[in-house]
Chains A and B, each alone.
Chain A
C-alpha cells in the first residue's frame, strides 16, 4: 500500500519541432508564456500524481487541458517529453517495446470515449481480442469473453456487430474488452461523455457496481464534475496541462486551491457532498436532539433546518460538536 501502483513525477509533454532540446534549454521548467513564444504547444506541464492500489482517481478538466495526454503518457501511448513514470515501482519509460506489449497484455486496460470497437468483429470477438493477441486458444478465450459479456450485462449479444448496438451497449463492450485480461490498472478516457445524460447515469451506476466487486486501480477522465464527485476517491483538476489541485471532492469544495477550482466547484450541489461534521461548530450545551456526523448534510437537512435550536453531532456514540440551521444555510449558499 505504501508503494503507489502508478506514479508520475514531473511529467512534461510538449509538441513542437524539438521539445526535448527546448525543455533542456529552459532548465526543464519553462513557463507558459515562454513555451508559447517558442512555438510549442504545451499538453502536459510538470504533472506529478500517485495512484495507489484500489484507488479511483479522476482527472478533471476542460477539453484541451491535457488530461487525455497525461493518461496516454501513463500508458505510454504517447511518449512524454520529460519526467518519470513508474508502474509497480518499475520505470515505465525505460521499458522496451516487448515489455510494454507484455504489460499492456496483462496489467493495463483502457476504455475510450468513442468506444473504439473494431467494426469488423462481433461483440464476442471484440471482447476476446486482447486474449486473442496474447495467443490464448479459441475455446478458453471465448469462454472468458462470454463471462465478461454477462458481467457487463450484454447476455446473448455475443454475435452482434457493434453497429447493431446502441451507444450505451457499445460502451459496455468497450468496458468488457478492457476487463477481459483482468488488468491491474484501468484507464477510462471519458467513457460516458458520448452518451445521453440518462444513459450516462445508468452507466455510472453500472460502473460503480462493477468497481465495488472488482476493486481495480483506476484512472478516470471526465470533464463533468458531477460525474467526478460521484465516482472519485480523489480528483485532480487540470488546467493548461498543469494539475491545479489534487484532493477529495470535499477538499476541493471546502478549500479550493485557486479561483479556477473554485469556479469549477461553485455550482455543485454541496448538500450532497459535505458531511455534517465538516460544518459543525464546537459542542454546545443548549443543543437538543442528535444527528450523525458521518452522513451528508442533504440527508440531515430537514432535521437540522426544522430545528430552531442547535443539534448535537454524534459520532460513534460520542458527541463531537453541534450544528445549527444557520451554519447549514450559510455553508450551502455562501457560494452564491
Chain B
C-alpha cells in the first residue's frame, strides 16, 4: 500500500519529463534520482533509529547522533518555536519560551501593559511633541487658510486627546464628547461641500480615531485595548440584529453611545441635506428624527423582536424576489424547519433551537456585509495598484491554505473568548476570497467599457461608482455568495472561541458524543447553508427588469407591497395570537432519535415515527393513492416508482403494522418486484440499443439513446429505492438481527489493523531529509530551481517548526484519503462527462454537496464507523471527492471537439477514444482536481479534530485551552505548508503540461 501511495509523485515527474527540452534524462533515470536517496534514507532510518519512535509517533530516543536524520533536533529550534506543553518540555505551570510565543505572550501578560503605558500622554516628552505638532499645524492653517491644515490640526488635537493628552485639564470627558462630535460633523459637512477624495478620507480617519479614542480613554490606550474597542463596535450590530430576530432590543435612550452618534449623524445629515436642497420631505424627516431623539431622552425605546411568522414571510418575499416561487418555498422552508424542528426547551426561558438558529443567522447577517465590504475595498485597491496586488496575492494564498483554527487563536488572544471574537474570526476568514473575486472582477471588465467611461468624461470617482462597480457587479455578487458560504462554515467552527448559536450547541453535542443531537443540529446548519447559498446565488443572477411604461404602482413594486403586507399582517396576527409570535414548545419536534437509532439501535425509541396510527397514516395513504393514480393515468414510470417508493417507505416505518402481517413475506414480494423492475429496465435498454444500431438512423438513434438513458435513470432509481427499502427493512425490523452497522464496524476494524495502522507506522518513520530531497528533486524536474526550492523549503519548515511526526500522521491520512477520493472520483467524473444529461444531474448533485459546511461530512462517517481513524478517512474522502469529480468532468469536456471527432473518424472505439485521446488531454485538469482534493482533504483532516485529534490537528486544538498562539499559528503554517508544497508541484506541472498540449498559450 505504502509503495503504491508514494509512487504517485513518480507519475508526476514521469509525465512532466516526457518531453522536457532541457533535461536529457529518461523518466526512469529521473525516478531513480528522485526516489533513490529518499528510499535509502527511509530504509536507513527504519533500520537504525525507528525503534526510538513510539507507536503514537513520539520520539523517545536519546541517541541525538541520529535524531537529525529523522527530524530537526529540538536543540536546534528551541529558541524559535518552543511551545508550551510539548513533548519533553511539558511542565505543569504553563510558560512558553521561544520568541514566537514570547511575542504573543506579551499580549497576555503584564509586561505588555507596562510597555504600552509609555503611550499615556498626559505627561512627559509625548505631551511636548503633540503640543508642538498641534501648534505647528494650527499656525500653518492660520497662515495658509488651507482646509488641509485645518483638518490636520483637528486630527492632531483629536488624536492627542484620545491619548489622554488633555487629562491634566481634569475635565470630565462626557461634555468633550459633544464638542468633538460637533467638530467632527462640521468637518464632515465641509467635506461634503468640497467633495474631494482627500477630504473624505481625512474626515473618515479623524472620526474613526476620535471615536475609537473616545471609547478607549477610560483606560490607558494600548494595542490590546485598541483591538477590543474595535471589537466592541460589533456588539452593537450584533445586539440589534439578534434583538430583532429573538428577544427585542432595548431599552435605550439617547445618551447611550452608539445611538447618540447615529442620531447626531442622521439628524445632522438630514438637516444639512434639507437645507442644501430646500427639500420639504427632508426637513420633515429631520424634525421627525429630532423628535424621536428628544422623546427618547425621557422615555427609553424598546424595539420588540419580530414575530417568527414575519421572519418567515420576509424570507419568503426575498426568495420570491430573487428566484421565484421555488426559492420562496425553500426560504420559508428553512424558517419553518428552524421553528418546528428541535427539542423543546427543557425549562422556560432556555434557548430553543429557534433562538440558536437566529443567533447564528444574526452573526452571519452581521459578518457578511462587513467581510464583503472590507474584502471589496482591499480587492479594489489591489486591482488598481499593481504593487499592492503583488504584495497581497501571496498573503492571500497563505491565509486560504490556513485551517480554520489558525484564525481563531490569535483572535482569542486579542479580543478574548466571546461571541464577537468568533464573529471577527468569521469576518477575517471571509475577507480573502472576496478580495480575490473583486480583483478578478475589476480587472476583468472589458477595456472598451472602461474607455467608454473615460470618453464619457468620468472623473476617477465617477468611474468607480458609475462604471467599474456596476460593470463588475456579477463577479462581486459571486464574491458575496462565497463570503456567505465561508462565513457559515466559520461561524460554526468559531464556537471554539465562544460564538453562541448552533455551532456552540453542535460543539457541545459532538464533544459529548451525542451524535443524534449533533446530526440534527448539523442538518439545521445545512438547511441554513443551502438556503443562504441559493439566495445569494440568485442575487448574482438577478437582472434589472423593464416595466412597461405607465404600469400601475402595484405592478412596478410588487415586492415592496408584499413586504409591507407580510410585516403588517404578521404583526397584527402576532398581536392576536401568541403562537404566531413565539413558536410554542408543544409545536416543536426533534428527530434526533432517528439518528441515534441509526447509530446505535435500541439506544432510543423512535416513537414519533411510529406510523401505524393517526394523521401520518392518512398522509401516507393519500400520497400512495395520488402517486398510484398518476401512474395509472399517465402510464409514466416516474409515478409508478413514486408510488412504490412511498409504499416502501411507509411500510418500512411500520405503516402497515396494523395489518398484523409478519414482515417476512413482504420482503420477498418487494425483492421480487425490484428485481423484475430492474430486469425490465435493462431489457428495454438493450432492445432500444440494438434497434438503433441496426437501423443506423441517426435521428432514431438519438431518440433511442435519449429514451434509453431515460429508462436507465428509472432503473437506477428503482435500484436505489429497493436498496434503501432493504436497508431500512434490515435496520428497523426487529426480526432481522443483522445490523448494517455491525458490518461497517467489522470492516473498519479490518481496515485499521491491516491497512491504516501499518501505513501510519510506516509514515511515521519517514525521515525529514529524505522527504525534503524528494520534493526538491521532483520540483526541479518539473520546472527548475524555483519550485524545487519552494517545495523543499516548505517541507523543511515543518520539520524546523518541530512538528515532524505530527505532520507525517496527517500526511498519511491525506495520501490514503486522497487516493481513495481519486479512485472513486475520477472514474465517476469520466462516467458523468459522457453525456450532457448525466453531467447536468451530477453537477446539481455536486453543487448540493459543496453547499455543506465541511464538518457535516463527519456525521455519516461517525454513524457507521464510530469515532475512529476510519471515520476521519471516510469524512475526508466524502468531502474531497467533490473536486476530483468536478475537475475530471471539466477536463474531459474541455478536450477540443475536433480531436474527439478526429479520433472517432480514425476508427477508435469509445474506449480507445477515452484512453488514447480524452484522458491524456484531460490529465492536467484532473491533476488540478487532485490539487483541490488535497486542499479539501487537508481542511477536512483538521476539522476532523472536532471528533478525534490527530497530528497537527491535535496541536491546533490543544493550543486552544492554553491560548497558545505561537503554537497554533506555527502549526497552522505547517498545515498550509503541506498543502502549498503539493500545490506548487502539481500546479506547476499542470501548467507546463497544458502549455505542451496547447490548451493554454
* Residue numbers in B under 8 Å from A104 (CB-CB): 454-457
Closest A residue, CB atoms, query B448: A116
Q: How far is the CB of B470 from chain A (nearest CB, A)?
A: 4
Q: Establish whether residues B459 and A101, one from each chain, have CB atoms under 8 Å apart when the complex forms.
A: yes
Interface centre among A108, A116, A134 (most CB of B within 10 A): A116
Q: Establish whether residues A133 and B458, one from each chain, have CB atoms under 8 Å apart when the complex forms.
A: yes
509-566 of chain B: CB within 8 A of chain A: 543-544, 546-547, 549
Q: Establish whether residues B546 and A161, one from each chain, have CB atoms under 8 Å apart when the complex forms.
A: yes
Q: Establish whether residues A122 and B546, one from each chain, have CB atoms under 8 Å apart when the complex forms.
A: yes
Closest A residue, CB atoms, query B456: A130
Is A132 positioned at the interface, with any CB of B under 8 Å from its CB? Answer: yes
Q: Establish whether residues A130 and B457, one from each chain, have CB atoms under 8 Å apart when the complex forms.
A: yes
Bitwise, B941-982 to A at CB < 8 A (1) or not (0) is 000000000000000000000000000000000000000000
* Residue numbers in B under 8 Å from A160 (CB-CB): 546
Is B367 positioned at the interface, with any CB of A under 8 Å from its CB? Answer: no
Closest B residue, CB atoms, query A123: B546
- How far, in angstroms, from A168 to B178 measured CA to CA in the complex? 61
* Residue numbers in A under 8 Å from B471 (CB-CB): 118-120
- How far, in angstroms, from A207 to B144 measured CA to CA in the complex? 55
Q: A101-B458, A101-B459, A133-B462 are in contact. Are A161 and B448 (CB under 8 A)?
A: no
Q: A101-B458, A109-B455 are in contact. Are A116 and B546 (CB under 8 A)?
A: no
Q: A120-B544, A161-B543 are in contact. Are A114 and B448 (CB under 8 A)?
A: yes
Is B395 positioned at the interface, with any CB of A under 8 Å from its CB? Answer: no
Q: Establish whether residues A178 and B455, one from each chain, have CB atoms under 8 Å apart when the complex forms.
A: yes
43-76 of chain A: CB within 8 A of chain B: 72, 75
Q: Establish whether residues A112 and B452, one from each chain, have CB atoms under 8 Å apart when the complex forms.
A: yes
Interface centre among A101, A134, A163, A164 (most CB of B within 10 A): A101
93-150 of chain B: CB within 8 A of chain A: none
Q: A116-B446, A159-B549, A163-B543 are in contact. Are A77 and B473 (CB under 8 A)?
A: no
- How far, in angstroms, from A105 to B458 measured CA to CA in the complex? 8
Q: A118-B470, A161-B546, A164-B546 are in contact. Are A133 and B456 (CB under 8 A)?
A: yes
Q: A116-B446, A120-B473 are in contact. Are A75 and B455 (CB under 8 A)?
A: yes
Q: How far is the CB of B545 from chain A (nearest CB, A)?
A: 9
- How far, in angstroms, from A174 to B462 measured CA to CA in the complex? 19
Using a Cβ–Cβ cut-off of 8 Å, how many residues does chain A contribute to the interface with B?
Answer: 37
Is B467 positioned at the interface, with any CB of A under 8 Å from its CB? Answer: yes
Is A129 positioned at the interface, with any CB of B under 8 Å from its CB? Answer: yes
- How far, in angstroms, from A105 to B448 measured CA to CA in the complex? 17
Q: Establish whether residues A159 and B546, one from each chain, have CB atoms under 8 Å apart when the complex forms.
A: yes
Q: How far is the CB of A71 from chain B (nearest CB, A)?
A: 10
406-461 of chain B: CB within 8 A of chain A: 446, 448-449, 451-452, 454-459
- How far, in angstroms, from A102 to B471 measured CA to CA in the complex? 23
Q: Establish whether residues B455 and A133, one from each chain, have CB atoms under 8 Å apart when the complex forms.
A: no
- How far, in angstroms, from A134 to B459 measured CA to CA in the complex? 10
* Residue numbers in A under 8 Å from B457 (CB-CB): 101-102, 104-106, 130, 133-134, 181
Q: Establish whether residues A116 and B466, one from each chain, have CB atoms under 8 Å apart when the complex forms.
A: no
Bitwise, B141-165 to A at CB < 8 A (1) or not (0) is 0000000000000000000000000
Is A5 positioned at the interface, with any CB of B under 8 Å from its CB? Answer: no
- How far, in angstroms, from A133 to B466 measured CA to CA in the complex? 9
Is A177 positioned at the interface, with any CB of B under 8 Å from its CB? Answer: yes
- How far, in angstroms, from A224 to B532 measured CA to CA in the complex? 52
- How far, in angstroms, from A108 to B458 measured CA to CA in the complex? 13
Q: Establish whether residues B546 and A132, one from each chain, have CB atoms under 8 Å apart when the complex forms.
A: no
* Residue numbers in B under 8 Å from A105 (CB-CB): 456-457
From the candidates A106, A116, A122, A164, name the one contacting B449 in the complex (CB within 8 A): A116
156-177 of chain A: CB within 8 A of chain B: 159-161, 163-164, 174, 177
Closest B residue, CB atoms, query A164: B546
* Residue numbers in A under 8 Å from B467 (CB-CB): 118
Is A110 positioned at the interface, with any CB of B under 8 Å from its CB? Answer: yes
* Residue numbers in A under 8 Å from B473 (CB-CB): 120
- How far, in angstroms, from A241 to B806 measured CA to CA in the complex? 62
Is A10 positioned at the interface, with any CB of B under 8 Å from its CB? Answer: no
Closest B residue, CB atoms, query A76: B454
Closest A residue, CB atoms, query B473: A120
Is A327 positioned at the interface, with any CB of B under 8 Å from its CB? Answer: no
Q: Establish whether residues A112 and B451, one from each chain, have CB atoms under 8 Å apart when the complex forms.
A: yes
Bitwise, B205-244 to A at CB < 8 A (1) or not (0) is 0000000000000000000000000000000000000000
Q: A116-B446, A122-B546 are in contact. Are A110 and B455 (CB under 8 A)?
A: yes
- How far, in angstroms, from A32 to B352 measured CA to CA in the complex? 78
Q: Establish whether residues A120 and B470, one from each chain, have CB atoms under 8 Å apart when the complex forms.
A: yes
Is A211 positioned at the interface, with any CB of B under 8 Å from its CB? Answer: no
Q: A101-B457, A104-B457 are in contact. Are A110 and B451 (CB under 8 A)?
A: yes
* Residue numbers in B under 8 Å from A174 (CB-CB): 452
Is A113 positioned at the interface, with any CB of B under 8 Å from its CB? Answer: yes
Q: Establish whether residues A132 and B466, one from each chain, have CB atoms under 8 Å apart when the complex forms.
A: yes
* Residue numbers in B under 8 Å from A122 (CB-CB): 544, 546
Q: How far is the CB of A167 from chain B (nearest CB, A)?
A: 14
84-126 of chain A: CB within 8 A of chain B: 101-102, 104-106, 108-110, 112-122
Q: How far is the CB of B197 from chain A (nearest CB, A)?
A: 13
* Residue numbers in A under 8 Å from B462 (CB-CB): 133
From the candidates B452, B459, B543, B549, name the one contacting A110 in the complex (CB within 8 A): B452
- How far, in angstroms, from A122 to B549 measured CA to CA in the complex? 13
- How far, in angstroms, from A119 to B446 measured CA to CA in the complex? 12
* Residue numbers in A under 8 Å from B456 (CB-CB): 104-105, 129-130, 133, 177
Closest B residue, CB atoms, query A187: B455
* Residue numbers in B under 8 Å from A163 (CB-CB): 543
* Residue numbers in B under 8 Å from A181 (CB-CB): 457
Bitwise, B452-489 to A at CB < 8 A (1) or not (0) is 10111111001000110011010000000000000000
* Residue numbers in A under 8 Å from B451 (CB-CB): 72, 77, 110, 112, 116
- How far, in angstroms, from A164 to B546 measured CA to CA in the complex? 10
- How far, in angstroms, from A120 to B472 measured CA to CA in the complex? 10
Q: How far is the CB of B499 from chain A (nearest CB, A)?
A: 37
Q: A101-B459, A130-B457, A133-B458 are in contact. Are A118 and B544 (CB under 8 A)?
A: no
* Residue numbers in B under 8 Å from A106 (CB-CB): 457
- How far, in angstroms, from A114 to B456 measured CA to CA in the complex? 16
* Residue numbers in A under 8 Å from B449 (CB-CB): 116, 118
- How far, in angstroms, from A116 to B544 measured CA to CA in the complex? 18
Q: How far is the CB of B388 from chain A (nearest CB, A)?
A: 21
* Residue numbers in B under 8 Å from A109 (CB-CB): 455
* Residue numbers in B under 8 Å from A133 (CB-CB): 456-459, 462, 466
* Residue numbers in B under 8 Å from A110 (CB-CB): 451-452, 455
* Residue numbers in A under 8 Å from B459 (CB-CB): 101, 133
From the candidates B448, B455, B547, name the one contacting A108 in the complex (CB within 8 A): B455
- How far, in angstroms, from A106 to B549 measured CA to CA in the complex? 31
* Residue numbers in B under 8 Å from A77 (CB-CB): 451, 454-455
Closest B residue, CB atoms, query A160: B546
Closest B residue, CB atoms, query A120: B470
Q: How far is the CB of B193 from chain A (nearest CB, A)?
A: 15
Q: How far is the CB of A80 from chain B (nearest CB, A)?
A: 16
Interface centre among B449, B456, B544, B546 (most CB of A within 10 A): B456
- How far, in angstroms, from A72 to B452 measured CA to CA in the complex? 12
- How far, in angstroms, from A10 to B459 measured CA to CA in the complex? 29
* Residue numbers in B under 8 Å from A121 (CB-CB): 470
- How far, in angstroms, from A130 to B459 measured CA to CA in the complex? 11
- List the 6 closest pairs (A to B, CB-CB), nearest first: A105-B457, A116-B448, A116-B452, A110-B455, A130-B456, A104-B457
**Complex A-B: 18 CB contacts under 8 Å:** A101-B457, A101-B459, A102-B457, A106-B457, A110-B455, A112-B451, A112-B452, A116-B449, A118-B449, A118-B452, A118-B471, A120-B544, A129-B456, A130-B456, A133-B459, A161-B544, A177-B456, A181-B457
Interface residues of B (CB under 8 A from A): 446, 448-449, 451-452, 454-459, 462, 466-467, 470-471, 473, 543-544, 546-547, 549
- Additional A-B contact list (14), CB under 8 Å, known A75-B455, A159-B549, A177-B452: A72-B451, A101-B458, A108-B455, A109-B455, A110-B452, A116-B448, A116-B449, A116-B451, A118-B449, A122-B544, A130-B456, A159-B546, A160-B546, A178-B455
